[in-house]
Amino acid sequence: MGSGSDWMFDFFGSVMPVFFIVVIGIILLSAGKGILQWSQNNRQPLLAVDSKIVSKRTEVKHTQQTDDAMSSRTRTTYYLTFEVESGDRMEFAVNGEEFGMCAEGDEGLLRFQGTRYYGFVRHPRAHLHVVRGYEHPK
């Protein structure tokens, strides 16, 4: 074990601290981004606006555990896209139950603050009944 193995200690002695600093920097950057978004949301007013659901989508992430071939995890995130009266569109992550209760074309009152979603209350639709060929509102 002469001086031939010294290069390995020099490599780890110079590369590992840099790698450690980069990893810590990424973690701090991610945390800072989350805190900044939280702060920006807190400064926004809580809004309730008329809107229409124009799109629904899901994002499925599947992860396989490296140490156990039989173990895996699947996570589904649900999104609704709303269009407000001005024509602007906003997408929010919602829970699965709310996603299932909403349909594209539903109109109602959207409540949000910045990028935080607080809820959507559908406006009741006028139901039409056909009697002898004529449509009568219920």
Domain boundaries, the chain: 1-43, 47-122
Whether residue 129 is predicted with pLDDT greater than 70 in this model: the reply is no
Within 10 A of 112 (CB to CB), how many other CB atoms are there? 22
Q: Kindly state the average pLDDT of the residues 45-56.
A: 96
Asked if residue 12 has pLDDT above 80, the reply is no
Q: Give the span between the Cα atoms of 108 and 123, in whole angstroms.
A: 5
CATH of domain 47-122: 2.40.50.660
In this prediction, residue 7 carries a pLDDT of 63
Measured torsion, CA atoms of residues 26, 30, 36, 39, in degrees rounded to the nearest 10: -140
